[in-house]
Structure 1
Amino acid sequence: MGVGVSQAKFAAIALVALTSLSPAIGQTASQARPGANPLIRDKFTADPAPLVVGDRLYLYVGHDEAQRDEMFNMREWLVYSTTDMKSWTDHGPILKVADFKWAKKDAWASQAIQKNGKFWFYAAVEHDGTHPGKAIAVAVSDTPTGPFVDAKGSALITNEMTPKGTHSWEDIDPTVFTDDDGTTWIAWGNRQCYIAKLKPNMIEIDGPITEITPPHFEEGPWLHKRGALYYLTYASLDRSTHRDEKVSYATAPSPKGPWTYRGELTGSGKYSFTIHPGIAEFKGNWYLFLHNAGLTIGDLNGAIGRRAVTVEHLQYNRDGTMKPVVQTEAGVSVPPPSSAGRN
């Protein structure tokens, strides 16, 4: 969720996004092709978070509802699912920010995870005045499509818990990952990246919060593991040379590190300042979910607050590093570029 710049810079970016697009440029709903990008064409969606349950992949997304020159207007989270990466079922809203009584706005980036026979949903919101700043909420459900309810009745993480941070919106974009030993980790952040263990009850932090900020980290971390290697993939921004976020990643022998920077995985998203990675293995293939701002719906063009979720094939080299990903309109409607190095 791209909030790592000043309000003035945000306004300038939004103005550029609004004035540089026309309906002729954006990818419209009438151009749908199974597996092509963007995946969802009747709503603006962002911050994709995949979860595989059996033979179905569920995709949790934020709902961009910005009108005209608004930057962000996000009030609920949606979920879609697929069995073939081509056809998607819309399960509708699963939760609204208003369902967290202590939160006042901003249904920002989220991720869901299955554990202990339940589904746990972690999301960034704006806390009310009792704990000013961004916070991370946790909800729970018996099914991946909800209904989800507030699992704690209060925030899992507040801005007061990360006092060394540089700004009040650093506690956003949670990613959750359960290791082979059953330990669940949560990482999050904007400009600073933090990681901590979760208690078995999934609603409390277990032990210290550690900063693991890799080079050019901006936001949107995503944790996953392949073989013995742990991956931290994230939205990156080299402020000295770039205006738009890209995706970079680091690897480590354990969630606690040490993390080794591996460079950029993708370029920036089409017409979009923000980008947000989500990674999943599904039926023997790996996928990288992202968002851009290349969708037009009616008279609304893509913009900083009107984004569109995409997906690309993800492949690995023999040494475990990830092959650079080129973002395309074809997406997974076509086979991966090469079978070399695939798992």
Structure 2
Amino acid sequence: MGLRSILAVAALAALGAPVVAQDKPGTAPGSNPLFRERFTADPAPLVVGDTLYLYVGHDEARGKEMFTMREWLVYSTKDMRHWTDHGPIMKPTDFKWAIKDAWASQVIERDGKFYLYATVRHDDTHKGNAIGVAVSDSPTGPFVDARGSALITDEMTLPSNHPWSDIDPTIFIDDDGTPWLAWGNGNCYLAPLKPNMIELDGPIRDITPPHFEEAPWLHKRGDLYYLTYASLDRKTHKNERISYATAPSIEGPWTPRGVLTGSGRNSFTIHPGIAEFKGDWYLFLHNALLSIGDQKGAIGRRAVTVEHLQYNPDGTMRPVSQTEAGVTAPPPAN
């Protein structure tokens, strides 16, 4: 999620007990929004064996506040219908050099350990936002600072247009074992990491695709690499959409493929997360349609959703419609 990106809605988080199944779309287990007891945003899926873990930010804004986010949460599912709430896994100040802002994160597994890459606000020793990396022996945490300092700071990508240039990390391990980190707001940056997962192992490159706003997500299917991201064509749209590009290599060249799905309803921001789980592909995102008590969906009160994701024979992704039914409905016919 980005500060420059400004609007989004709410999501509630189902606790451990499954929701009572009903036939009506929007209320059956697995329908959207996925979590209805708290506002959530910036979904990042991770598959471990027969379980999908979903890491989210916790929107706690009140009234007209923008982004008030104090912790990261994780949920898990074995069937994409019923979700278990594992509660908070970390807060920004667990990084001793950070002061606030539990913005977008992603977790990846390597050699039996789980690494969380997260956006936070740095203390006054570095300006603006930064990216930290934490580690745990379990996908449900607790996570602890893996290096004692930020992995990415604002000075590393100068000249930057604003102090939230370095946000929204996505992590991907290539077939040769090389970890790659992408991130950014306004510009999309890419850099390799060392095998230890906590140090850069090469120069930072700018791979910004058309209308890139923020929230990159890297994945691979077959021989194609995918860079999916929140896009904003300010001449034609006022809210972010999700677009993507493909490449034959993680280092490019990247070919723009256009819009994957439109804006999240009632939300300026949107944030993709993509995973294959038990033979099917899913696109996670957020909108701002959830209300909890007297708090309606808004820029700082968003709700995580999920939809089926399908591919054409040439590897391009089919446009995704955002629905209330979500994965409780079968995938659209070819």
TM superposition score category, shorter chain reference: over 0.9
Map of 2:82 onto structure 1: 87
Deviations 1:157-211 (A, max 9, x none): 0001001322211100000000111111000000100000010111101110000
Superposition deviation, residue 4 in structure 1:
2.4
Q: Hey, what does 1:176 align to over in structure 2?
A: 171
- The match for 2:209 among 191, 211, 214 is 214
Residue in 1 aligned with 2:238?
243
The answer to which structure has the higher helix fraction is 1
Are positions 1:60 and 2:27 aligned together?
no
Aligned partners of 1:32 and 1:48: how far apart in 2?
Answer: 20
In structure 1, C-alpha distance between the alignment counterparts of 2:88 and 2:199, rounded to whole Å: 26
Amino acid of the residue matched to residue 133 of structure 1?
G
Q: Deviations for 1:16-59, whole angstroms, at most 9, x for unmatched residues? A: x89xxxxxxxxxx9963111000000000000000000000000
Greater relative contact order structure (CA < 8 Å, 6+ sep)? 2
Instruction: Work out the number of aligned pairs and report it.
Output: 321
Instruction: Quote how far apart the aligned CAs of 1:263 are.
Output: 0.1
Alignment equivalent of 1:292, drawn from 273, 287, 292: 287
| Residue in structure 2 matched with residue 40 of structure 1 by the alignment | 35
SS of the residue 1:192 aligns to? coil
User: Residue in 1 aligned with 2:144?
Assistant: 149
Equivalent residue, structure 2, for 1:259: 254
Q: Name 1:3's counterpart in structure 2.
A: 3
On the 8 A contact 1:2/1:273 being kept in 2, the answer is no
C-alpha deviation, 1:2, in angstroms: 3.5
Q: In 1, distance between residues paired with 2:119 and 2:318?
A: 30
Between the aligned partners of 2:48 and 2:312, the Cα distance in structure 1 is 27
Match of 2:320 among 304, 318, 325: 325
If the length of structure 1 is used for normalisation, what is the TM-score? 0.91
User: In 1, Cα distance between the equivalents of 2:316 and 2:121?
Assistant: 36
CA shift at 1:264, angstroms?
0.1
Determine the C-alpha separation between the residues in 2 that align with 1:315 and 1:296.
30
Q: For the Cα contact (< 8 Å) 2:2–2:164, is it kept in 1?
A: no
Residue 233 (1) aligns with residue 228 (2): yes
The match for 1:201 among 196, 209, 212 is: 196
User: Which of 244, 268, 273 is the aligned partner of 2:268?
Assistant: 273
Query: Aligned match of 2:65 in 51, 63, 70?
Result: 70
Gaps of 5+ in 2: 11-18, 21-25
Asked whether the 8 Å contact 1:314–1:322 carries over to 2, the reply is yes
Counterpart of 1:22 in structure 2 is none
CA contact (8 A) 2:2 2:167 kept: no
State the partner residue of 1:306.
301
Contact preservation (8 Å) 2:106, 2:170? yes
1:104 paired residue among 89, 99, 107: 99
Give the aligned partner of residue 24 of structure 1.
Answer: none
